[in-house]
A and B are shown apart, each in its own frame.
Chain A
Amino acid sequence: MSDALNRVLRVFRNPRVVNGIGLALVGVVGVWLLVNFVKGPQEFVNVAIDGLTRGSIYGVVALGYTLVYGILQLINFAHGDVFSLSGLVASTMLFSVLELTGDSSNLVVIGGIIVTLAVTIPLFAVVNATIERVAYRPLRHAPRLTPLITAVGMSFIVSNISLALYGVDYESGSDLIPQGAAFTIGEIIVTWKLVFALAIIVPALIALSWFVGYTRQGKAMRAVAQDTEASAMMGINVNRTISVTFLIAGALAAVAGLVFLLEYNIRYDTGFELGLIAFTAAVLGGIGNLAGAVLGALVIGFVQSFNEGLTWFAPGGDWTRSIVFGILIAVLVFRPQGLLGEQTPEGA
């Protein structure tokens, strides 16, 4: 028993075997995509556009995970639930406070979206930073499992706050944005959904990369992510930097929550599953790497849309969850550092 186990283990430790299996898997997926493309190019591209819409939303959530992980090495399970709570609060803003309806003119809707973002972004930035202050900061020196378990607990608390405030019904803002095609390029239909999603998400991403890349505080964030102790010795206020990271992650969650509300429907437990998908995306791209998170999210978005939209040998929506987690497991086994990440001791 033990001997056989050892032999199996030894085979799996051989990098050539592991890489070979990994490449074979990628090859199978490539062939599958190619056959699907040849069978129906137009359908393929339209499904891909749906994937782009999904992927961009996942990207914003995944950034929240990867920012926090990069700086604290903590999977902030509560992030997904903060996201869904922010979407629900946005629905209150849009429908109850601003009283928008499906008949409101486009200009009014756009104004409403801006006002809503102006409220939810600061609100959830503060909520997220408060979670860090209350639940994670006192555990900075506990064994690593402790904050992780606390994060699972916080996730349940936040989702139950959503449940208490909004009940079990789905909220959706999808009638606010126009249905159908914004414009067509040849036979390719570019939907309003995609236009709205990108119009909100792209500026948010630009703002984020400006902040992280070009401000003093962003520089501090990068330094702390690289080496907490050294940056503390250089006079960087570590606690404040961590708080700022959580503020930004919360702000991103609020952006994603609103976009998700406009495109799909959201309820108290949406954030749990979406959070897992987004975390998978972050791992796929290389956790801690901002560009990687967006790339990974786009890949996952495409995978999900291809799986649900294509017709030739696609497993279908029932299996989406399994496929996403299968990807997560495959990435961790075959390429733990992710697509763009550096080799980490975690994957050793």
Chain B
Amino acid sequence: MTGRIDRVRSRAGDNPNVWLVPAVIVLGLLYPFLEDPLSTLPLIGDFVPTTATVVVMIAFTMMAVGLNIVVGYCGLLDLGYVAFYAVGAYTAGWFASQQFEQVTFHFGSSVDNDKVGIHVSMWLVLIIAGLLTMLSGIVIGLPTLRLRGDYLAIVTLGFGEIVPVVVRNGDSFGGFNLTNGTFGISPIDAVGFPLLSAIGLPENFQASDNRARWYYLVAFLLLLFTIFCSVRLRDSRLGRAWIAIREDETAAAAMGVPLMKTKTWAYALGAFFGGVAGAYYASFKSGAFPADFYFNISVFLLCMVILGGMGSIWGVTVGGMILAYLNFSGLSTIGSKIQDAGLDFDPTKYQFGIYGIIIVLMMLFRPAGLIPERRHKVEFEEGVHDTPFYDVQTEGALTDRDQSDD
């Protein structure tokens, strides 16, 4: 027992961050109760996001952590991650709403038993959404993962564009209404504890007095779970294979890493979290609408990963929270402050220009991100492969090819 404590202590001595994580978790759990006192503070009070906003921020951060598996670990640029978000949200729509009014099926759901449509417990739906999204990740991955780098980026972008179109026009596949077209699926059932309502837990979060707080709590736990899985995956055999592929695909293949299988797993597992987050967010806002799934969301998520640091879980979490905060509350607050000051400038209109500037500046000056992952930083500083004989940038200087890890 003492030995264990000593070990923790010595690790804490090496790395002060050991105490940071529990502190952040406790603070995070207490946030709904801190919101009110914080928002009354002078000066910064207006900038404090409401608990409901934080739920949205967490949902998008979860997607960013999922995207990080694909982009950060495995080095596959995915510009169509929004497709997974869409699949997750629509899975929630299919399994927990009145969309399929031909049938009536209830399983542990929080809604009344006489409602038509499929109503499966949202807890199960989250898992189903994750699995279905994983499957769609595999389907997208199979034909495209043979391609390298930028071709893959453009194909994922293509898929990201196709999915919203299919969703928007999917109200009559041979007469069958799959997605309800432009109107989207709404309402989607709430998360809740129908079996545990006897001990005071809310049967239905949407109907509960503390809707935002309950959704927040579950979202926070989901985010912790995502981060936990992400850390464990990174350190697993699979995770090390991903990093090997990122650093040098040819070398990894030569060392016996099965490229297609490993990449497909990266795609599938990255997609999983996007699906869960998408389903949860759909339940929170009680709907899935085709207008939510446009390309900009993919770039927004990518920007979170880049800002935080590709491959760095804590970086991506922080980057995700910062950008999601700016997107869903910060920019409009800043905008109203600017307008109060008498200037006619609305930053929310230029949000994607702002993200573009963030992306370019980060890539030029701090490509490893705010909280860089050690390994990735080295890759950026020293380069991995493709070191040319002749350095075009510093004209005339011949680079020493032998010294690089080519």
Contact of A229 among B349, B390, B395 (CB under 8 A): B390
Do A329 and B159 touch (CB < 8 A)? yes
The answer to whether A73 and B150 have CB atoms under 8 Å apart is: yes
Interface size on B, residues (CB 8 A): 59
Chain A 119-132 per-residue mask, 1 if CB under 8 angstroms from chain B, else 0? 00000000000000
Cross-interface CB contact of B299 among A156, A279, A333, A346, cutoff 8 Å: A156
Q: Which of B50-58, B100-108, B163-171, B204-212 contacts A (4 or more CB under 8 A)?
A: B163-171
Contact A322 B360 (CB under 8 A): no
Q: Contact mask A252-288 → B, CB, 8 Å, 1/0?
A: 0000000000000000000010001001100100000
Distance between A82 CB and nearest chain B CB, rounded to angstroms: 14
Q: Mind listing 10 A-B residue pairs with CB under 8 Å?
A: A12-B143, A152-B359, A153-B356, A153-B359, A321-B161, A329-B143, A329-B155, A332-B151, A333-B146, A348-B146
Q: Given contacts A154-B360, A157-B356, A276-B157, is CB(A318)–CB(B150) below 8 Å?
A: no
Closest residue on chain B to residue A318 by CB atoms: B169
Which residue of the partner chain, among A153, A319, A348, contacts B363 with CB atoms under 8 Å?
A153
Assess the A325–B299 pair: CB atoms within 8 A: no
Chain A residues positioned under 8 Å from B353 (CB to CB): 156-157, 159-161, 163-164
Contact A283 B261 (CB under 8 A): no
The answer to whether A135 touches B364, judged by C-beta atoms less than 8 angstroms apart, is: yes
Proximity string of chain B (338-369) to chain A, C-beta cutoff 8 Å, 1 when within and 0 when not? 00000000000110110111111001100100
Q: Which residue of A lies closest to B357 (CB)?
A: A157
A239 touches B143 (CB 8 A): no
- Interface code A100-144, partner B: CB below 8 Å = 1, 0 otherwise? 000000000000000000000000000000000001011111111
In angstroms, Cα B135 to Cα A8, docked, is 14
The interface residues of chain A, by DSSP majority, are classed as helix
Interface flag for A17 (CB, 8 Å): no
Interface string of A310-347 (1 = CB under 8 A from B): 00000000110110011011001100100000000111
User: Interface residues of B: mostly helix, strand, loop or mixed?
Assistant: helix
Whether a CB of chain B sits under 8 angstroms from the CB of A212 is no
Could you tell me the distance in whole angstroms from the C-beta of B232 to the nearest C-beta in chain A?
A: 19
- Asked if A150 contacts B363 (CB within 8 A), the reply is yes
Contact for A333 among B143, B355, B393, CB less than 8 A = B143
Smallest Cβ-Cβ distance to B148: which chain A residue: A346
B123 within 8 A of A: no
CB-based contact B359/A283 at 8 Å: no
What is the interface of chain A, defined by CB distance below 8 A to chain B? 2, 5-6, 8-9, 12, 73-75, 135, 137-150, 152-157, 159-161, 163-164, 228-229, 232-233, 238-239, 272, 276, 279-280, 283, 318-319, 321-322, 325-326, 328-329, 332-333, 336, 345-348
**Which of B144, B146, B260, B383 has the most chain A CB within a 10 Å cutoff?**
B146
B151 with A347: CB separation less than 8 A: yes
Of B144, B158, B380, which one neighbours A143 at CB under 8 angstroms?
B380
Task: Using A139-B363, A153-B360 as known contacts, say yes or no to A160 and B352 having CB atoms under 8 A apart.
Answer: yes
The list of the 4 closest CB pairs from A to B, nearest first, reads A160-B353, A156-B356, A153-B359, A325-B158
Q: Separation in Å of the B133 CB from the closest CB of chain A?
A: 16
| Residues in chain B near residue A333, CB distance under 8 A | 143-144, 146
Q: Which residues of A contact B114 (CB under 8 A)?
A: none
Which residue from B138, B261, B302, B357 sits with its C-beta under 8 Å from A149?
B302
Smallest beta-carbon distance A125→chain B, Å: 21
A9 touching B393 in the complex, CB below 8 Å, given contacts A156-B299, A157-B353, A283-B154? no
* Interface 0/1 of B177-220, CB less than 8 Å to A: 00000000000000000000000000000000000000000000
The answer, among A135, A141, A143, A325, for a CB contact under 8 Å with B162, is A325
Bound CA–CA A157/B367 (angstroms) = 18
Q: Are A232 and B392 in contact (CB under 8 A)?
A: yes
Within 8 Å of chain A (Cβ to Cβ): is B228?
no
What residues of chain B lie closer than 8 Å to A319, measured between beta carbons? 165, 169
Q: Which of B144, B168, B261 contacts A6, CB < 8 Å? A: B261
Contacts of A152 in B (CB 8 A): 79, 299, 302, 356, 359
Given contacts A139-B363, A156-B356, A328-B155, contact A232 B390 (CB under 8 A): yes
B350 touches A163 (CB 8 A): yes
> Could you tell me if A144 and B386 are in contact, using CB atoms closer than 8 angstroms?
yes
* Binary interface encoding of chain B residues 43-54 relative to chain A, with 1 for a CB under 8 A from any of its CBs, else 0: 000000000000
Nearest B residue to A324 via CB reads B158
- Please, how many angstroms separate the alpha-carbon atoms of A272 and B157 in the complex? 12
Q: Which residues of B contact A140 (CB under 8 A)?
A: 392-393
CA distance A136 to B269 in the complex (A): 32
How far is the CB of B151 from the nearest CB of chain A, in Å? 5
Taking CB atoms, residues of chain A closer than 8 Å to B261 are 2, 5-6, 9
- Residues on B with C-beta less than 8 A from A143 are 75, 379-380, 383-384
- Whether the pair B383, A322 counts as a contact (CB closer than 8 A) is no
Contact of A153 among B264, B357, B391, B392 (CB under 8 A): B357
Give A76 to B155 CA distance when docked, in angstroms.
15
Q: Give A156 to B155 CA distance when docked, in angstroms.
A: 19
When distances are taken between beta carbons in the complex, the residues of chain B under 8 Å from A8 are 142
Question: Cβ of B380: which chain A residues have Cβ within 8 Å of it?
Answer: 142-143, 146
Q: Which of B71, B151, B388, B391 meets A346, CB within 8 Å?
A: B151
| 7 additional A-B residue pairs with CB within 8 Å, beyond A160-B353, A229-B388 | A141-B393, A142-B380, A153-B356, A318-B168, A318-B169, A326-B162, A328-B158
| Nearest neighbor of A145 in chain B, beta-carbon distance | B77
- Asked if B316 is at the interface of the complex by the 8 Å CB criterion, the answer is no
Bound CA span A74–B390, Å: 19
A311 to B41, CA, bound (A): 65
Chain A residues near B356 (CB-CB < 8 A):
152-157, 160
A328 near B154 with CB under 8 A, answer: yes
B165 and A156: CB pair below 8 A? no
CB of B147 closer than 8 Å to a CB of A:
yes
